[in-house]
Amino acid sequence: MQRMYGRADRFGSWIANMDVWRTKDGRILARFWSRSSDVDSCSYEVFGLKVPARPNREDLGGGECWIPRCLRDEYENWVTAEWQCE
């Protein structure tokens, strides 16, 4: 798999992470995780997203804007839910 995007957000001592990967067959996978043992990780497969075979910064918009809004919203919901449990 090829890592396409990574993000880490710090909340005090707690760090939330989102990683987006592309598989060899072109599927896009995302994972929300933290090293905290009390956090439930989530995994997703993203459908309907076309990513170039060999993307560069220009292909991906130079940031997270190419990641579907619904996935970014889901990450924010996950962070909110897990942060409230800390």
Q: Torsions phi, psi of 73, nearest 5? A: -65, -40
User: What integer pLDDT is reported at residue 62 of this predicted model?
Assistant: 58
- Residues of the chain with pLDDT > 90: what percent? 19
Mean pLDDT confidence for 49-78: 73
In the three-class reduction of DSSP (H, G, I as helix; E, B as strand; rest coil), residue 72 is classed as helix
Give tens-digit pLDDT for 22-62.
Answer: 888 888 899 999 987 777 788 888 887 766 555 555 555 55
Mean pLDDT confidence for 4-12: 88
Q: Is the pTM of the predicted complex or chain greater than 0.85? A: no
Let me know: does 20 contact 67? Beta carbons within 8 Å: yes
